[in-house]
Every structure is written in C-alpha cells, then in structure tokens.
Amino acid sequence: MRLRRRDLLRGATALAAGGTATVGVDGFYLTPKSLEVSRHRLGGPSGGSGALAAEAAGDGSRLLIAHVSDLHLRSIGSLEIGLLEALERLRPDLILLTGDSIDAATGTGLLGEFLAACPAAPHKFAILGNWEYRSGVPVERLVDLHARHDFDLLVNRSVTFPIGGRSVRVTGLDDLLHGRPDARAAVASGSPCDRHLVLAHCPTLRDRLGLPAEHGADLVLSGHTHGGQVAPCGMALVLPAGSGRYVKGWYHNDAPPLFVSRGIGTSTFPVRLGSSPELACIEWRLD
C-alpha cells in the first residue's frame, strides 16, 4: 500500500512533536535534578589529573576537596538535599563554594539554610560570583552570613593551614565581571607555602592571575559556565562572558591545572540539557 504525502507529513510532525516533548521533559525536569558526583585525582605518582578510580587511595598526604559551584538557590528541593547528603557521605577535608550561590537578595535566607545544613569539615571556604553582585546584597552582609555557618568568604584574601606535614594556602579572588580581583593583594601578607589552591569564579581569570612568582598557583578551581547549561550532545550552545576558552572539566596543558565545575543550579532559564549538575570530589595528593 502506497503512503500518501499527507500521511508522511503527519508522521514526520508526530515524530518531531514527540522529540520536542522528550527534550522538554529532559531539559526542564530530568537533567536539572540529576546530580552527578564526579571523582578526580590530582598529583600522586602520575603527577597528573583526571578521573579518580573508586579504589584509588595510595599513601602520603592528601586533601579531599568537595567543590560546589553555582548553586543559584531558589529553593531547598530534592537536588539541594541530595547535594547535602552527598557532602555528608564524602566527609571532605575542604568544602568549597565557588560563587553564584544566590541570584537575588531574597536568596540570602535560603543560603543561610543551606550553609547551616552543610556537614562539618575541617575547612570551609566560599568566594563571590557575578550573581552575588547582581543581587545587590552588600559584600559585608554576605561575609557575616557565611561566617555564622563556619564558612570563610574570601574576597582577595588567603588562608593557610597545615595538613599531613605540609602547608596549603587557599586564595579566593573577587569576581572578574563585577568585582576587582587582585591576586597580589590576596597573597601579600603570606609566606611561600607547599601547595597553593586558587578559587576564581570565572575560569578565564586563570589566564591572567597575576600572582607573584614565589606564590604561584598549583591548582585553580572555577565554575560559572554551567558546562554550557544547554549542551545537546555535550556541545555548549552559549557560554557566559568570563568563560573564555573554558567549558567544563580539566585543563592541564598549561600551568596551573584548572578544573571547571558544571555547577548545581541554572541561570536565566530553569533548563539543563546535556550538562547535569555536578559535585566534584577531588583527591589532591600532596606528596
């Protein structure tokens, strides 16, 4: 039996509608709630960085980092609860929030709830992103809010602490787009250390850190890009200003190594496609 042209058109229309519906369900409801805990290793015998085998641990000093970025808190829902539960299971040495935790001034209450629910860790730090500035909340108020819940909000400032017989410095830089990042000021009062971790919300700041030679970075952690947020087949359609040549994951062909998180929440539109929310767990071997 020969198919008539109008039957073919009806079939094609039905297939297109079905595909659009599937993408809509995925983009609005499935992917935005599908938290991935990615595991990575930096240093150790290989000296490199990449995916961390579940059984890999090894000997020597290590720093277990939980990297959370771009919360964009609008509620404490299943995604955020799952994130908090994952943080509890990881038992990290260091919990890091690398900016864009809120979108608006109304989000400070939710941020306080989230910070209060975060598990205990030896060290907890945060930095500012472009959306904290756009929210209009004074920086001093955000510093106080984080401090009430044992987070140190670093704005062009460094903190150094010992671990496994080595000294580790964490430097938090101001946001590139709306703040005034100043790496030299951030390390001015410190002496050289064994390992230096730099937090910079916008990854393109890695290309112009401006650190003194004696305070060079060993690792940079960023967010901001959301991995493209809408990235069908893994191809980011649009990236925000401040992303530069970076999208997601590791960049270690140039020094220092950089890891860009896909982040947790969404910006502008509540859609994620091909780029699921990410909690990055990085085992940094310090030996």
Q: How far, in Å, CA of 236 to CA of 247, rounded? A: 8
Tell me if the bond preceding 92 is cis, omega within 30° of 0.
no
Tell how far CA 153 is from the center of its chain. Answer: 15
Q: What is the model's pLDDT at position 13?
A: 43
Q: What is the model's pLDDT at position 193?
A: 94
Q: What is the model's pLDDT at position 14?
A: 40
Q: What is the model's pLDDT at position 60?
A: 52
Does residue 87 share a domain with residue 196?
A: yes
Does residue 161 share a domain with residue 27?
A: no
Does residue 162 share a domain with residue 151?
A: yes
- Under DSSP, is residue 40 helix (H, G, I), strand (E, B) or coil? strand
Q: What is the model's pLDDT at position 53?
A: 37
pTM: 0.87
Q: What is the model's pLDDT at position 6?
A: 54
Does residue 58 share a domain with residue 43?
A: yes
Q: What is the model's pLDDT at position 233?
A: 87
CATH of the domain at 63: 3.60.21.10
Does residue 192 share a domain with residue 52?
A: yes
Q: Which residues pair with 199 in a beta bridge?
A: 172, 221
Q: What is the model's pLDDT at position 61?
A: 86
Does residue 140 share a domain with residue 164?
A: yes
Q: What is the model's pLDDT at position 24?
A: 54
- 45 CB neighbour count, 10 Å cutoff: 10
Q: How many domains does the chain have?
A: 2
Q: What is the model's pLDDT at position 49?
A: 57
The residue range of the domain holding 28 is 1-33
Single-letter amino acid code for the residue at 182: D
Q: What is the model's pLDDT at position 257?
A: 96
Mean pLDDT, the chain cut into blocks of 10 residues (287 residues total): 45 42 57 95 67 42 96 97 98 98 97 98 98 98 98 98 93 98 94 95 96 95 97 91 97 91 94 96 94
